[in-house]
Structure 1
Amino acid sequence: MDVSGIRGLFPGLKDTIYLNTATMCVGCSPAVRAYRRALERWSAGQFDWMEAEQAGEDARGMFAEIIGATAADIAVVPAVSTAAGIVAANMPPASTGENIVVPENEFASNYFPWLLLRERGYDVRTVPAEEDVVTAAALGRAADGGTRLIAVSAVHPVTGYRADLAAIGRIAAGSGAWFFVDACQAAGAVPLNVLRDGVDFLATASHKFLLGSRGMGYLYVRRGLTDQLRPIVPGWKAARLPFESFVGPDMELSPTSSKLDASLAWFPALADQAALAVLRRFGIGAVLERNAALVRHLQNALEAEGVNFRSFPERHRSTIISVPVSDPDAVMARLRGANVMVSVRAGRIRLACHFYNLEEEITRAAELIAGR
């Protein structure tokens, strides 16, 4: 990849070492321009909402390409919690022995909606983590013939552990359960293929590795399940022909996953259209290859500095590495002083690479964590 071409799209990185994409990405120039243009046209009374709606459709299609799906399989939603809420709300009252299986250390957006299903009679089985990790095997031991849903993060937001989605998909299929994946730390960061891995639902927000902004997200629904789902907050975008469905008296829902759409956030949609086009321009395969190379460089740099961290086998490796330190506040102060942006999660320094990072930046961050 042309690294100089990449960096030219992220001028804000000139004086900043940004290893915090797991929290929020750095805004790329095309997305920033889309926002500025929208603001200018809005303030002049010339904002074109139809253009924004088309941007949402373009973004739907580009996201589908990244996960191996089609646009018809994708609903546009604002967040993972919205997506999980839609799926949870579509689960009927439980019969005797029916249960939900979810790791106990899941992020709240992929945890709270399932816990609430206790009110419908489900036994929510929270699987304990062993050394911070819940494996496919552990989920398999918790699942049985009464399991109706298994929910996991494709990449854990604290540890960076990358789940074996294919193995979990087989477990879900064997139980007759729905398989829900939170891909917030995976989409745009590591390879995803919903068809290969037997995923029923996959949800993500766009403001991390997809280069978008807060307020846009996506929900994949496996073809064949769409007809079983009812929209929870249906608006005009849920219609078969949205632009002909502003008023009643009839309601004809879309036959595709768009029937689950939330009303589109116009400014974020314009930014997403521009941001996802950046990933398409470079090629998602090339982006993911560079991400993997940068993480290997980060591991090597930390090892060279004698910094301890949890290293996973390659198949479980993501773009996130968390480093336990004795004094997180002191380390964070040292990093901020050098304009290195990272985050603290569970008392650990969390570093997250993306394709716009440079090897020398990563080396310097490792040195600073080591105290040099």
Structure 2
Amino acid sequence: MATTSIVGYLIFLVVIAESTAVLEVSMKEHVEGIKNLVKSLANHTYPTCDLVLFTEVADFKTAEERCANFHLAATSTGKGNLATVNTELRNEEISMLFNIALPKSEQSEFKYAGDRWVWTGLRKTKNNDEKHIKKIKNRIPYNALDWEWYDGSQPDVYSNWHRGQPDQRPLKEGKKSNEYSESGRCKESQCRQNQMRLDHDGKWDDAFAFEKHPFACDYTGRYIVSGELKSWKAAKAACEVAGLTLASIRSLTEAEELRQALLIFLGESGFEECAGTHAVKAKHLDSDKLHCNEKDSEGKTKWDPKHWAWIGGNDHEEEGNFKWLDGSQAEFEDFPWIAKAGGNNGGKAKFDDSDGIDRSGGQDSMTISKWGEIDDEYGDVERPFACECPRG
């Protein structure tokens, strides 16, 4: 993928949890780290700690609805929205993400092709009535106070319009949009370019709502999930390169948020209803739980590594005493261990390593399933993993 523009906000200090050292993550390392984390995600989603970009194309209304229904944060009660890009750093961030997801060099050479732009949340909300715009045949004079982000703020402090934009030119005579009327002719106000799209260079343009582009939503979640298969130590290092840490959960609410993140970014496993079925024979299960001891469409059981993700908890220092990477205790009341997990099955036993997995160290590293249960596992097993955005 092509190298992206400078992203100043991505440079910050990362505390390496198992030591007291503080390392500065370089810009290049951080950008490469983010690219490596998200490059193999399912569903064509590309998240950072602030944004999620969807590479599927949609008209503005559909994109708006998708973002409104994008509830990843289990603690979030409000609706989501198309991305807010109201500062220079935020503009650079979404430009970076767009270049990661759909590199400019790989898209159409036509400047106004759908894959050369991404929808954001800026739209013209004032002076759109027929009486106001009927008097203006071509360009509508730009007034930043007529445009709004979803939080009600306006682009009067920061904007990055292409030269001469926005011009809000009307739809050319004879052009049609079946999105807005049975006759195929849109109303005057809907034939104006009342929405903002952004290109790979971070430049803004006004556009018709019926045009179709990828879109970005504001992200209120805590976790970034990677589909790359790595050992526990390699996953920890990959998160750190991206300026993040291997995930922790501090409550059942956070466990549910992380579970949702796994489903959204990695896809469902088919075993989502299997919580609590470990170590129970199939004949003792309710009829609707029989599938939990069966195999998926690829012949994989629920124990297959692809149905689990590494998180940061471990008992590397003291058997049975699980801690997060910042040294704090990992377990809390009602911690969602699977049956017989935790200190009970993590002994330092040695097993046959013919499959290439070193089991001499015991099951000392935490992993979470797509149905929300946590197990301790051998750290050499390669599986997806979850990174955590900075807390606070």
Larger radius of gyration: 2
User: Is TM (by shorter chain) over 0.5?
Assistant: no
Q: TM class by shorter-chain length?
A: under 0.3
Structure with higher RCO (Cα < 8 A, 6+ apart): 1
Structure with bigger strand share is 2
Structure 2 length normalisation: TM-score? 0.23
Structure with bigger helix share is 1
